[in-house]
Structure 1
Amino acid sequence: MAKDHIATLDALRQNTSVPFEQARAMPPEVYTSESFVAEELEHIFSKDWFCVGRASALPNPGDYITCELADQPIVVLRDRDNELRAMSNVCLHRMSTLLQGSGTVRSIVCPYHAWTYNLDGSLRGAPAMTLNEGFCKDNYTLPKVRCQEWLGWIFISLNADAPDVSDQLKQVEEMVAGYDMTNYTEAFFEEHVWDTNWKVLAENFMESYHLPVCHAGTIGGLSKLEEMVCPPGLPAFNYHTILKDDQLRIAMAHPSNERLKGDERRTTFLLALYPSLLITLTPGYFWYLSLHPKGPGQVHIRFGGGMSDDYADDPDAQENFNALKTLLDDVNVEDRGCTEKVFKGLSSNLAAPGHLSHLERPNYDFAQYLMARIDAGKQNA
Structure 2
Amino acid sequence: MINKVFTEDFFASMASSTLDIGRAESLPPECYADPAFFEFEKEALFNHEWLCVGRESLLPNIGDYFTVTHINEPLIICRDKTKEIKAMSAVCQHRGMLVAEDHGNTKVFLCPYHNWCYQLDGSLSGAPAMNKTCDFSRKNHALPQLKVEIWQGFIFVNFDLNAAPLAPRLPEVSKYLANYELEKAEGPRPEKPESYNWNWKVMMENNNDGYHATKLHKGPLHDFIPSEKSEFPTMSENEAGYVRLNGTDHADAAFNPLQKAILPIFPNLTDEDRNRAVFANLPPTLSLVITADMIIYLILHAESAESHSMTIGYLVAPGAMKTPLFQDKIDFNMKAAMEITEQDLHVDRLVQVGLNSRFAPRGRYSWQEEAQLLLNQWLVERYQHSWKHTQQTIPIKQAT
TM normalised by structure 2 equals 0.87
Give the percent of matched residue pairs that are identical in Structure 1 and Structure 2. Answer: 28
Alignment pair present for 1:248 and 2:264: no
Contact 2:263–2:329 (Cα < 8 Å) also in 1: no
Paired position in structure 2 for 1:302: 311
Deviation at 1:106, TM superposition (A): 2.5
Counterparts of 1:189-228 in structure 2, within 5 Å, are 189-190=190-191, 191-216=193-218, 219-228=221-230
For 2:382, which of 369, 373, 377 is the aligned residue?
A: 373
Q: Name the CA distance, whole Å, in 1 between partners of 2:137 and 2:163.
A: 33
Q: Name the CA distance, whole Å, in 2 between partners of 1:59 and 1:288.
A: 20
Contact 2:5–2:37 (Cα < 8 Å) also in 1: no
What per-residue deviation string (whole Å, max 9, x for no partner) do you get for residues 323-345 of structure 1? Answer: 22222222222211110011111
Contact 1:218–1:327 (Cα < 8 Å) also in 2: no
Alignment pair present for 1:67 and 2:48: no
Deviation at 1:77, TM superposition (A): 0.8
Contact 1:63–1:77 (Cα < 8 Å) also in 2: yes
Equivalent residue letter for 1:296: A
Paired position in structure 1 for 2:163: 162
Deviation at 1:71, TM superposition (A): 4.2
Q: What is the RMSD computed on CA atoms of the aligned residues?
A: 2.2
Deviation at 1:48, TM superposition (A): 0.6
Q: Name the CA distance, whole Å, in 2 between partners of 1:157 and 1:343.
A: 28
Q: Name the CA distance, whole Å, in 1 between partners of 2:154 and 2:340.
A: 24
Contact 1:12–1:30 (Cα < 8 Å) also in 2: no
Deviation at 1:316, TM superposition (A): 3.3
| Number of residue-to-residue matches in the alignment | 377
Contact 2:5–2:30 (Cα < 8 Å) also in 1: no
Deviation at 1:42, TM superposition (A): 0.6
Alignment pair present for 1:148 and 2:149: yes
What per-residue deviation string (whole Å, max 9, x for no partner) do you get for residues 166-190 of structure 1? Answer: 1111322222211111011222413
Q: Which moved more, 1:194-203 or 1:311-320?
A: 311-320
Runs of 4+ deviating beyond 4 Å: none
Q: Name the CA distance, whole Å, in 1 between partners of 2:222 and 2:132.
A: 68
Equivalent residue letter for 2:368: L
Paired position in structure 1 for 2:367: 358
Counterparts of 1:226-305 in structure 2, within 5 Å, are 226-234=228-236, 235-244=239-248, 245=250, 246=252, 247-250=259-262, 253-254=265-266, 257=267, 259-305=268-314
Q: Name the CA distance, whole Å, in 1 between partners of 2:352 and 2:4.
A: 23
Q: Which moved more, 1:205-214 or 1:145-154?
A: 205-214
TM normalised by structure 1 equals 0.91
Counterparts of 1:69-218 in structure 2, within 5 Å, are 69-132=70-133, 134-190=135-191, 191-216=193-218
Unaligned 5+ segments in structure 2 are 253-258, 391-400
1:186 counterpart SS class? coil
Relative to structure 1, is the Cα distance of residues 283 and 114 closer, same or farther in structure 2, using a 3 angstrom cutoff? same
Higher helix share: 1
Unaligned 5+ segments in structure 1 are none
